[in-house]
Amino acid sequence: MPQLVFADYAPQVVWLAITFLALYLILSRLALPGIARTLGERESRLKGDLEAAERLKAEADASLAAYNKSIAEARARAQGELKQAAAEMAAEAAKRESAFMAEVNARTKAAETAIMAAKSAALGDVHTMANEAARQLVARLTGMEPASADIASAIAAAEREQR
């Protein structure tokens, strides 16, 4: 093996140093600045992306808070309008009910008045029919026609006894 030949050891060390130095100079002047520049750009891009992400997150949080606030306001406004509509409908229903009750009461009064008038007319007709029936009955039984005053007093006495 050539590495173990001690006579060739010095030139190998010199060539090793020359190769190492050349490789170091090439890498430090050409490759490493490009790598450093790429790493710096990557780091600055990552920082920019993180800052943009944080800014967008803050904007999204603000938008979400505004959205939730507007939803809450809309719900509150809708509840208020719903309560107002319910109150208006209840007032309208009460108004219609009172108008209906007034109409029903008026009709009831009119019906009661008509019933009383019919009852009075019927009672008047009953007296007239009772007078006529009693007169005809007495005339058939006795053969004589009784006086109207006698029949009226007899019917009045019978009514008093029934009460």
Answering whether pTM is above 0.85, one says: no
Residue 5 has pLDDT above 80, yes or no: no
The residue among 80, 103, 111 whose CA lies nearest residue 95 is 103
CA distance 57 to 76: 28
Q: What percent of the chain has pLDDT over 70?
A: 98
* Domain ranges, ordered by start, for the chain: 7-162
Q: Which two tokens stand for residue 26?
A: 């090439």
Encode pLDDT of 122-161 as tens digits. Answer: 877 777 888 888 888 888 888 888 888 888 888 888 878 8
Encode pLDDT of 33-85 as tens digits. Answer: 989 999 999 999 999 999 999 999 999 999 999 999 999 999 999 999 999 99
**CA dist 50 → 45, 60, 62 (Å):** 8, 15, 18
Encode pLDDT of 81-123 as tens digits. Answer: 999 999 999 999 999 999 999 999 999 999 999 999 988 888 7
Residue 13 has pLDDT above 80, yes or no: yes
Provide the angle, in degrees to the nearest 10, between the axes of the packed helices 32-142 and 148-162: 130
Name every residue whose Cβ is closer than 8 Å to that of residue 120 and which is 6 or more positions away in sequence: none
Query: Is the CB of residue 100 less than 8 Å from the CB of residue 117?
Result: no
CA distance 58 to 53: 9
